[in-house]
Structure 1
């Protein structure tokens, strides 16, 4: 019975999410001739509704710790990525964002159209050299415009209890501009598993770490500092959700497993 209710609540969430996505994507397309902030406001509303609807239908809410660590000016945010939750939560937390995404996401009907209207940095990952050049070039321009660059350094969603390889693109961008890096840990995969339709009730923790200075450092140094903080924080906040691997302790998983 409990599994059926979880499925039913998840289905109700997806119905509301889909309707909201279609309406907001259409709103973004209609707002193309208008100032950019109008489209940004539509997407911010989309995120607000999606998070609120998630809480109402699935009983899944979020808690943010470390807000005081956000610097005053735009920075590079490097975040753990376990589900779609953090994409919406970070959009709501930050004043103006530019997302680093794979180009294929822009091809998804309605969702991709709305994402495109936000001026993301959409990378063609099949051409690594070109993707690296594009990230640095467009990332610098977005930072100059006051947008926070949000990047998932492991490149994709990682299942709860696992660790991917931290790529250096975000660290290179930060070092090249002198912008600080804000590390973010999140245990969303314990309630909204990777590639899963089901969403379980509980409280997701989004933990924002102290900004890491990049001036005078190499990209490798910054990347190691970022990964060390995120994985240590993951060990602290993990292991409480219903989808955590049975019989495993957070500390023994995060430091050793690579995806």
Structure 2
């Protein structure tokens, strides 16, 4: 049964990701608010698919503070990172630089406010990450 649920999830979520990326690109041409709206809608699709197809439910323990803050998540998969986009007010996620190489999606991730990091770059990477963080703030 898990194999079937996974296959259905992949068909629905990844199949709909392509039109969402296209819509986000159009939204980005209009401005950041429409792009963010499409991206947050895509993340809600992930939540819906996870809940109704895979049976995964998110549970939050504790409270999320108001205002700007650093939120570090030790995650096992993209699920937690994507859910943070729903829970926080337009966060600036740190992501692997390789993800920014994905056609269209990578550009959108940077436009959203993503901060790419080259995990093999050492101190140079840290300086670039801090520079990008200042730009996003």
Measured on the aligned residues, the alpha-carbon RMSD in Å equals: 1.6
Map of 1:97 onto structure 2? 91
Distance 2:11 2:106 in 1: 18
**Native 8 Å contact 1:21 1:110 kept in 2:** no
Structure 1 residues 34-183: aligned runs within 5 Å: 34-67=30-63, 70-109=64-103, 111-143=105-137
CA contact (8 A) 2:26 2:35 kept: no
Q: 1:16 to 1:109 in 2, by over 3 A?
A: farther
1:30-69 superposed Cα distances (whole Å, 9 cap, x missing partner): 12221211111111000101111111111111111212xx
Which structure: greater helix fraction? Answer: 2
Distance 2:62 2:74 in 1: 15
Partners of 2:102 and 2:113 in 1: CA distance: 16
Give distance in 2, aligned partners of 1:134 and 1:110.
22
CA offsets, 1:119-145, max 9 Å, x none?
A: 3111233322221002222223323xx
Q: Show CA shifts across 1:127-172 (max 9, x none).
A: 22221002222223323xxxxxxxxxxxxxxxxxxxxxxxxxxxxx
Structure with higher strand content: 1
When the two structures are aligned, how many residues end up with a matched partner?
A: 137
1:257 equivalent in structure 2: none
Q: Which moved more, 1:106-115 or 1:48-57?
A: 106-115
Specify the structure having the higher radius of gyration (Cα).
Answer: 1
The answer to whether the 8 Å contact 1:22/1:111 transfers is no
Q: Find the aligned partners of 2:90 and 2:68 in 1 and give their Cα distance.
A: 8
CA separation in 2, counterparts of 1:128 and 1:87? 23
- Determine the structure 2 residue equivalent to 1:29: 25
Q: Where does the alignment leave 5 or more consecutive residues of structure 1 unmatched?
A: 144-259
Instruction: Measure the CA separation in 2 of the matches of 1:114 and 1:15.
Output: 22
The structure-2 alpha-carbon separation of the partners of 1:110 and 1:61, relative to structure 1 and needing over 3 Å to count, comes to farther
Aligned partner of residue 62 in structure 1, secondary structure: coil
Matched with 1:158 is none
- The structural deviation recorded for 1:110 is 5.1
